[in-house]
Structure 1
Amino acid sequence: MDNKPYLKKVRDQYESYPYPFRDPSQESRRLVEIAIERIDLINFYCFKGACNFNKFRVLVAGGGTGDSIIFLAEQLKHTTAELWYVDISQASMNIAKQRAEKRRLTNINWLHASLLSLDENIGKFDYISCTGVLHHLDDPLLGLKTLKNLLNDAGAMGLMLYGEYGRTGVYQMQQLMKMINVNENQLADKVINTKKILANLPETNWFTHNEKFLVDHINGEDNGLVDLLLHEQDRAYSILDVYQLLEQSALKFVEFSDVKMRMSYRPEQYINDSSLLKTIKQRPIKEQHGIAELLVGAFKKHEFYASMNADTKASFTELSNIPFFFPSEHYKNLGHQLANAILASPNKVISMKHSSGFEFDLSASQLNYTIFKNIDGKNTLQMIFDEIRKELKSETLNNEQLVAYICQCFKPFIQLDWILLKAS
């Protein structure tokens, strides 16, 4: 264990209550899927869909009990990718190691250290995951800059920071428990006192108002309660704070990794007045996100990709790219299913409902029939466009027109990550 600066009480907390609570024996029955660590999403948003993940270096900074490292290692176990896990808690790392052993994962390097101690000796990384960690540092900016210095020029990060407004009540409760537990030295006794307070909170308490959005203390064993209400070092960010943190680190915001989060940061989800909405949509995108956050008030975290580069997303103008439905294990036959539905209801609309809850209508046109019939995870955009011209007997439809059509009419599929791209 290195001697780089970190709050000893934070390390001791995670030694006594590793977070999140995980039972390694359950690995044989379930894989905890972490949405931001889906390699198809990482590839699409951060590497233009062109990464094959061989000789790919991954760092999970502040790996906790292993959710991110296990999910990434499981997805990458058939590649030559090299993964590194780093955490200040030996107890957390032991749990993560046991989980990896249960899964017979051999592609992980383990390091018991603070992320602040990492330097060029560990090498550069293509992807760095740091979710739920920076906001527990005394100097989050230093932490992010430390990680950024370990990033390859074309690399990217998956980050999660607590949301300020969605955690209303948490910090009042943390302060309350510090006052009540001022003479308690044992964390277990602090937990007991916290449970007593929770059982008797007045209806007027801000945490009571917000408790339905904050369930770690209910669903996460005592480990969740400690992490939420008894944390020794914890702060939260507005989305504008997040943008500022990235700018100070010379990083660029790429995209929210979670569909619900991404759609919820759009002011048009809540404002119907066209003139007001027009005014808001003229503002920079970060200010639009800030307006949406204040409108909703319930975003308890910001989860997103960041990069040193502005242009990292796979493009529909690159006709050698292959469109596919995501997640592919659930929707591998969706193209044919939609084509058959269009064939059964020509010139009508098909109601589409995404697993995130968002709905939209799809036109049952001949053009859409031909497109969906040919989206199979193998055909490139160029091959699909050639097939469209052949089946519709329309040589006047050029590639530019078809790209414009897909980007506009398939916009809901793209916004909801229902259709992604990968390089051929």
Structure 2
Amino acid sequence: FDAAPLAAVVREIFPAADLARVNDSPASILVAGCGTGQNAIIAARRFADANVLAVDLSRASLGYAMRKTRELAIRNIDYRQADILALGSLGKRFDLVEASGVLHHMADPFAGWSALAKRVKPDGFMRIGLYSERGRRAIVHAREFIARHGFKPTPSGIRRCRAAILAAKGDELLASVTRNEDFYSLSGCRDLLFHVQEHRFQLPQIAAMIDRLGLRFLGFEFPDSGISAARYRARFPEDLALADLGKWDRYEEENPSAFARMYQFWVRVPA
């Protein structure tokens, strides 16, 4: 990304959205469940002059994140060990809270989302990533394959699992798993196929949670240079803001791999 203020980034992603009262000053950003720091580093580079607080429960992950941040000479990230459900103790609110790839691994994803929503300033934003039930069908299928064959989440078990999946013939769902780059590293494959807890969602469920939290859906963010948005726009030209979750649900039903990675979307907290 070319670094730009938060307000400019949001306006560029969602040009048709009502973005009155967007704060143009340098942003305060919370990255929840930062893991090994990838999302925190991206945020620090993406948003000009931002101050980023990145939190995670794992000391090992935080140690790796801090080492990589130092190597990249990034100085606007502060790392802390913290539980998402206990972030009220910070006594601080943020212009943007990011939680991508963490809520769906919590025992109660809604409780986590609710706790994070309380950390957003009025008129602030959240960038959320959640697994799609339809989009993860290949992963679910692969996990059923793993259970049938009794592969264990050990280095040798993961290697045997990968070999068996690569050797499987005539199974397109298994073949699609091998096209995910995470499949080819031990840590990536463990997280992809052996994670002990995972929740998956459909868009009506997400719409209901957004409504319960009193948030406003702005739209999805795709890493494909506008290809997905253009396809959706061609299917539903009447949705000028690309923000009708009912229509997006119909679109995903027709295109089950549209959110194969996850739903990545922005919402806004009311004033």
Query: What's the TM-score once normalised by structure 1's chain length?
Result: 0.54
The answer on whether the counterparts of 2:142 and 2:177 sit within 8 Å (CA) in structure 1 is no
Task: State yes or no: 1:51 paired with 2:23.
Answer: yes
Amino acid paired to 1:198: I
What are structure 2's unaligned runs of at least 5 residues? none
Distance 1:166 1:85 in 2: 28
Secondary structure, aligned partner of 1:119: helix
- The Cα offsets for residues 54-73 of structure 1, whole Å up to 9 and x where unpaired, read as 3x321000112212211222
- After the TM superposition, list the runs of 4 or more consecutive aligned residues in structure 1 that deviate by more than 4 angstroms: 43-50
Post-superposition CA distance 1:228-249 (Å, at most 9, x none): 1111112322222221221222
Secondary structure at the aligned position of 1:138 is classed as coil
The counterpart of 1:193, out of the listed 151, 160, 164, is 160
Pairing partner for 1:306 from 258, 261, 267: 267
Preserved CA contact (<8 Å) 1:159 1:303: yes
Instruction: Identify which range, 190-199 or 59-68, moves more after superposition.
Output: 190-199
Counterpart residue type for residue 61 of structure 2: S
Distance in 1 between residues matched to 2:217 and 2:72, nearest whole Å? 34
Do the aligned residues in 2 keep the contact of 1:43 with 1:49 (CA within 8 Å)? no
Label 1:235 to 1:188 Cα distance change in 2 as closer, same or farther (>3 A): same
Look up the equivalent residue of 1:254 and give its one-letter code. Answer: L
- Offset of 1:107 from its aligned partner? 2.2
**Counterpart residue number, 1:87:** 56
2:187 is the counterpart of 1:223: yes
Find the aligned partners of 1:197 and 1:257 in 2 and give their Cα distance. 34
Q: Residues of 1 paired with 2:163 and 2:75: CA distance?
A: 44
> Does residue 9 of structure 2 align to residue 41 of structure 1?
yes
1:41-190 to structure 2, matched below 5 A, reads 41-42=9-10, 45=14, 48=20, 50-54=22-26, 56-76=27-47, 79=49, 81-181=50-150, 184=152, 187-190=154-157
Map of 2:204 onto structure 1: 240
Q: Residues 127 and 158 of structure 1 are in contact (CA less than 8 Å); yes or no, is this contact kept in structure 2?
A: yes
Matching residue's letter, 1:163: S
The 5-angstrom pairing of residues 352-363 of structure 1 reads: none
CA distance, structure 1, for counterparts of residue 130 and residue 93 of structure 2? 23
CA distance in 2, matches of 1:175, 1:113: 33
> When the two structures are aligned, how many residues end up with a matched partner?
259
- Within 2, Cα distance between the matches of 1:142 and 1:261? 30
SS in 1 for 2:167: coil
Q: How far off is 1:169 after superposition? A: 1.8
Structure 1 residues 48 and 227: CA distance shift in structure 2, 3 A: farther
- The answer (yes or no) to whether the contact 1:131–1:160 under 8 Å persists in 2 is yes
Counterpart of 1:400 in structure 2 is none
Using the alignment, how far apart are the partners of 1:132 and 1:120 within structure 2? 23
- Give the TM-score normalised by the residue count of structure 2: 0.82
Matches of 1:240 and 1:263 in 2, distance apart? 22
The question of whether the paired residues in 1 share the 8 Å contact of 2:96 and 2:127 is answered with: yes
| Distance across 1 between alignment mates of 2:68 and 2:269 | 33
Q: CA deviation at 1:43?
A: 5.3
| CA–CA separation in structure 2 for the residues paired with 1:308 and 1:61 | 17
Shift of 1:149: 1.0
Q: Would the alpha carbon gap of residues 39 and 99 (structure 1) be closer, same or farther in structure 2, given more than 3 Å must change?
A: farther
Task: State the 1:140 CA deviation.
Answer: 0.7
Q: Distance in 2 between matches of 1:180 and 1:211?
A: 17
* Unmatched tracts of structure 1, length 5 or more: 1-32, 272-276, 311-424
Cα–Cα, structure 1 residues 73 and 39, in superposed 2: closer, same or farther, change >3 Å? farther
| Inter-CA distance 114–181: structure 2 relative to 1 (3 Å threshold) | farther
Q: CA deviation at 1:34?
A: 10
CA contact (8 A) 2:219 2:267 kept: yes
- CA-atom RMSD in angstroms: 3.1
Task: Indicate the SS of the match to 1:63.
Answer: coil
Q: Spell out, residue by residue over 1:223-277, the C-alpha distance to the aligned partner (whole angstroms, 9 max, x if none).
A: 22112111111232222222122122222211222233333434x33x8xxxxx9
The 1:40/1:52 distance shift into structure 2, 3 A limit, reads same
Matches within 5 A, 1:297-336: 297-299=256-258, 300=260, 301-309=262-270
Given that residues 39 and 72 in structure 1 are in contact (C-alpha distance below 8 angstroms), is that contact kept between their aligned partners in structure 2?
Answer: no
153-162 or 245-254, which moves further after superposition? 245-254
Larger RCO, structures 1/2 (Cα 8 Å, 6+ apart)? 2
Aligned counterparts of 2:37 and 2:211: Cα–Cα separation in 1 = 29
Q: Secondary structure at the match of 1:72?
A: helix
Is this contact kept in 2: 1:264–1:292, CA < 8 A? no
> 1:205: Cα distance to partner?
5.6
Q: Per-residue CA shift, 1:303-350, capped at 9, x if unaligned? A: 11101239xxxxxxxxxxxxxxxxxxxxxxxxxxxxxxxxxxxxxxxx
